[in-house]
Amino acid sequence: MSPTQIALKSFDELKEALNGEPKIKVADYVNSGWDIHDAVYSKELLISNKANGYRDITAIIDLSSFRRIPWERNVPFFLVSFLDPDTKAPLPVDPRGVLKLTTDQADSMGYQCYSGVETQLNNDYFHDLFDESLKFDVQIEGHHTETGPGVLETALAYTSALRMADNAILFKYIAKSVGMKHGIIPSFMAKPWGGLPGCSGHVHVSLRNKKGRNIFAVTDEELKSGRPNATNEDTKFISQEAEWFLAGILDGIADVMPAVVPTINGYKRLVGGEAFWAPNAVTYGYDSRAASIRIISPPSCPPAGTRMEVRIPGADMNPYFALSAIFRLGLRGINKKLALPGPPITHFSPEDRSNGKIKMLPTSLESATARMMRPDSIAREPEVFGNDFVDHYGGTREHEVKLWNEAVTNWEVERYLELA
């Protein structure tokens, strides 16, 4: 656990929830001064650095996240949010805090963010994982084998965006904790094997109004023959707001790629492209698994189920950052009433990827980070991520690239050791 100062919003409420139990577990998922292997970042970053002595940060327990860990003798468990220890302001790079600001932004526009997430892993402990997830209050909609050896797909039940991100991150925790009991180490690597499909983290998103109506759905009258002012056939059964939302994602997705695909390995999943069910271009289409953004709408589903499936992320994504990126781009599209940048994927040929008709996504973390950190990057706009987030988080990704560039891999040794 990173060093933090734990602050309680209501000690009496916490004490009541715990019934006097002395032991609790608090989820901690942000390291602001060092990487996932506890190495200090290669450059001085915003939150925790040499100048401020790699200071502690303040963690606020979210009492509404209270649950018990069934495989650890029902020890109480909480999620936390992180604050600046001096100003008490939310940290601009706290994953859960970023998504909370995203949902607040939507709420100010009269919308509520809803999402579903698919994750995949290699395991042979199907039933125990399913049962323990339900006991831990992480609802699972489906759980089945997928493409590739040892790959299992878990679809988490649709819910509010913040709760969905919590469930997605907690499901990984469950999978690894339960896996230890079975002598198994499950992996959420995006591309664990060459020559085979990778492990995706598909994200389903929609907006609802305060009354719970799906904003992406067409009206009953439009359901008969489609929305009259739709840009094309693929968008005729989604609302105008949904079309603007879709245009917003397409307009900015390439500039926020490190928030959606955060690892070196994640881009290896995308390099294979459609051959491995990993779209790597700025494309959309009705019910198309070849497109980066799949429109799910009538007639393939009821109007209430209308949504977008963003097929770019891998299973190694940070769900808080990925959902924030998607919703903030979509809300930006609604605010600006952006037009779709072109026709759906069915109007393009395979050659259009090489001749420039289709806009390609970055194919490496290095190029994606450089694009995100450009002065004119959409990611830097205040309504998307803003400068503080981009500079700090981009610095962490530059650090990852530096370590990768310094590494000597088994592939290099096998290829060059004798024949170079």
The model's pTM: 0.89
Residue 59 phi, psi dihedral angles, 5° rounding: -110, 130
The answer to whether 244 and 207 are in contact (CB under 8 A) is: no
pLDDT band at 4 (very low <50, low <70, confident <90, very high): very low
pLDDT score for 372 = 98
What's the mean pLDDT in 177-196? 90
pLDDT band at 43 (very low <50, low <70, confident <90, very high): confident
Q: Which residues of 138-167 are buried (b: 16+ CB within 10 A; e: fewer)?
A: bebeeeeebebeebbbbbbebbebbbbbbb
Strand-pair category, 25-27 with 75-83:
parallel
User: What does the pLDDT look like over 365-417, one tens digit per residue?
Assistant: 999 999 999 999 999 999 999 999 999 999 999 999 999 999 999 999 999 99
Q: Which residues of 295-307 are buried (b: 16+ CB within 10 A; e: fewer)?
A: bbbbeeeebebbb
The SS3 of residue 206 is: strand
Which residue from 388, 208, 387, 373 is spatially nearest to 307, judged by alpha carbons? 208
pLDDT band at 1 (very low <50, low <70, confident <90, very high): very low
- CA-based torsion, 253, 257, 261, 267: positive or negative: positive
pLDDT score for 9 = 45
pLDDT band at 21 (very low <50, low <70, confident <90, very high): low
Angle subtended by helix axes 319-336 and 161-181, to nearest 10: 160
pLDDT band at 269 (very low <50, low <70, confident <90, very high): very high
The answer to whether 186 and 179 are in contact (CB under 8 A) is: yes
The answer to whether 255 and 377 are in contact (CB under 8 A) is: yes
CA angle at 95 for the pair 90 and 97, rounded to the nearest 5°: 30
pLDDT score for 108 = 94
**Category of 79 on φ-ψ map: left (φ > 0), alpha (ψ -120 to 50) or beta:** beta
Residue 46 in this model has a pLDDT that exceeds 80? no
> CA 62 → CA 29, 47, 129, 265, 366, distances in Å?
14, 22, 25, 33, 35
CA angle at 199 for the pair 198 and 204, rounded to the nearest 5°: 125
Q: Which residues contact 398 (CB under 8 A, 6 or more apart)?
A: 42, 43, 369
Q: Which residue has the higher pLDDT, 48 or 345?
A: 345
User: What does the pLDDT look like over 50-62, one tens digit per residue?
Assistant: 777 777 788 888 8
List % helix, strand, coil for the chain (3-state, nearest 5). 40, 20, 40
If you write DSSP's letter for every residue of 225-261 in order, what string do you get? H--TT-SSGGGTTS-HHHHHHHHHHHHHGGGGHHHHS
Per the structure block, which two tokens stand in for 303? 């109007």
Residue 346 in this model has a pLDDT that exceeds 80? yes
User: What does the pLDDT look like over 196-221, one tens digit per residue?
Assistant: 888 999 999 999 999 999 999 999 99
Residue 98 in this model has a pLDDT that exceeds 60? yes
